A and B are shown apart, each in its own frame.
Chain A
Amino acid sequence: MSEAIVLEVRHITRRFGGLYAVDNVSFAVQRGEIFGLIGPNGAGKTTLFNVITGMTPPTHGELFYEGINITNKRPHEIAMLGVARTFQNIRLFGTLTALENVMIARHIHTKSGVLEGVLGLPPAPQEERAVRQRAMELLELVGLAEAAEMQARNFSYGDQRRLEIARALALEPKLLLLDEPAAGMNQNEKSALSAFIRSIREQFNLTIVLIEHYVPLVMGLCDRIAVLNFGQLIALGAPEAVQNDPAVIEAYLGE
């Protein structure tokens, strides 16, 4: 496998009863690119994310991340390898503060056990300080530092999405999967988000796969785009090429 490929999806199928939510989909995501995943409602985009992150086992097919077969790995194992995600239906730890939400995501980068934590033995105190500081930095990065002590569920929709991104970044992932990060944001927020996604790619050397409905955002931001329709991959390529693909136009107009 080439060094340039971060994620390879090979003939992935996921059936729910008789429904092919994802139907024999294959593609490879290159290192450092922003890869768009679009398609009409119910096309199977979120299901594909769930399969990649180990939350929904595929019916057929294989997944490779950094050359490692992750097809049968559990979600926490995949997270530990460096894959982080956000959720379309926001899944923050609602009753916890923003800061705690991000601190929790430092789990794999710390190692204090029960006794170290309870008795305050090394490395717990140092780790605690470092985790808190790192979490604050990430909150600052997404513009939520002032609200660090606020309960996550009290945040506005857009702020919750930003907090989910901060939490995902706390994992120090190499591959970041964003499921409709702009949903619920206004026009200004959407273009700011676009610039933000580009900037975190540079800052953290990320490869990003992005599900998005809002076409201008996808077209302006993504290096390549894959289009799903009824679970099948109907187009894959540069934004302009995909935009003019008759099958894509058909899928969107046919809705």
Chain B
Amino acid sequence: MEGFFSTYGAAIVQMALAGVLALSLYLPLMAGQLSLASPGFYAVGGYVAALLSTQVFTGYPNGSYPIPLIALEMIVAGVISAIFAILIGIPSLRLRGIYLALATIAFVEILRVFALNQPWLGGAVGIYNIPQPFFSATRVEYLLLALPLLLGATLFVARLERSRIGRAFIALREDELAASAMGIRPTYYKVLAFTIGAILAGMAGALNAHILNTWNARQGTFDLAILILAYVLVGGSRTFLGPVIGGAFLVALPEIILREVAGTPGLNPVIATFLRDGRLILFGVLIAVSVFFFPYGLITPNLFKRRKKSAEPSVETATAAPKVSRGEL
């Protein structure tokens, strides 16, 4: 067990963070909005943590940086991301479909170039020597922070999905015009979903700044947006479980599973080499295949309903039943 964690601890932490980032993209998608802005908020969160821990909360010897301070940084990162999200969301969420996606990519790119050129953000080098709370080479201890963040985010979204606000989001996704005819204010709820997603991304960035020990303009770029999108599309875009499992699975796939399989003794060396070096190709194929065959991802709400359904009357009898009472209408 110890060997497992020392080998895979860091990967498991990244699986958890991927789940949180996937949820941050899933939230606006719940309200029907394809936003690729998550890496931008993730970058903002990372810089917030990097600045606070290297310039404000100084004086702690490396290896003993207090965990509550990291939690506080995550909260500050969430608040600042939320402010950014509201400012950006109000104008850009009036755009639809691909135009919104493009606007959010532009936001991510502007942030990157901005960070690159700001001396107070460390320019191209970024901010380094971000203090660590643990003496550890494997960083598996970061699970103590990453898992609660993932768990909290997952429970939050799971509960939200079944609440009044979550239903308003979903109504907008299903049919914006019909939702507005039901008194649901489209812009308000789109900005709200976008903002909650931004908070999650900002918190993930703050945590990862400590894990990586350094933060710079290469964190939270367009590439990451595509990865996060893949987590959601492969995992599932119609239930909170989809992004969480998609994120964990797609991070684990190259990091753990393929490496493990490639190391099987007696495996044909050509296959082993391909599994090791060609894993990103496999990864890409997997995304393409799953999006093609499972438009709502691998995890769908019906997975949990099917069993119940078979016990219920079939579609025909269920509609036939009310017809009997139709005369009373």
Contact = CB atoms under 8 A, between A and B. Distances in A.
Q: Do A and B come from one complex?
A: yes
Interface of A: 53, 55, 74-76, 79-80, 84-85, 87, 91-96, 100, 103-105, 107-108, 110, 112-114, 116-120, 124, 127-128, 131, 142-147, 149-150, 154-156, 159, 167, 170-171, 188-189, 192-193, 195-196, 199
B183 interface: yes
Contacts of B185: 74, 76
Contacts of B186: 76
Contacts of A112: 163-165
16 contacts: A55-B180, A75-B177, A76-B186, A79-B180, A79-B182, A103-B167, A104-B170, A104-B182, A104-B184, A107-B164, A107-B183, A114-B196, A143-B328, A146-B322, A167-B182, A192-B326
Contacts of B323: 143
Interface stretch (B94-102, B118-126, B212-220, B312-320): B312-320
Nearest to B301: A95
Contacts of A110: 164
Most buried by B among A91, A108, A112: A91
B50 interface: no
B160 A117 contact: yes
Nearest to A200: B329
Interface in B167-226: 167-168, 170-171, 174-175, 177-186, 192, 196
B175 A107 contact: no
A55 B319 contact: no
A244 to B, nearest CB: 31
Contacts of A117: 159-160, 163-166
A155 B179 CA distance: 20
B183 A114 contact: no
Interface in B270-329: 312-313, 315, 318-319, 321-323, 325-329
Interface of B: 156, 159-160, 163-168, 170-171, 174-175, 177-186, 192, 196, 238, 312-313, 315, 318-319, 321-323, 325-329
Interface of A, helix, strand, loop or mixed by DSSP: helix
B87 to A, nearest CB: 19
B174 A94 contact: yes
Nearest to A54: B180
Nearest to B168: A107
- Top-5 shortest CB links A-B: A117-B163, A108-B183, A196-B329, A93-B174, A79-B183
B318 A96 contact: no
Contact of A76 (B165, B170, B183, B329): B183
B85 to A, nearest CB: 14
A147 B322 contact: yes
A167 B179 CA distance: 11
Contact of A87 (B174, B178, B192, B319): B178
Contacts of A156: 319
Contacts of A150: 312, 315, 318-319
Contacts of A113: 165
Nearest to B317: A146
A145 to B, nearest CB: 7
Nearest to A112: B164
B181 A75 contact: yes
Contact of A159 (B164, B319, B327): B319
Contact of B175 (A53, A80, A93, A192): A93
A104 B179 contact: yes
B320 to A, nearest CB: 9
Given A84-B181, A107-B168, A171-B183, A147 B163 contact: no
A85 B164 CA distance: 21
A75 B164 CA distance: 19
Nearest to A173: B183
A114 B160 CA distance: 7
Contact of A147 (B160, B321, B326): B321
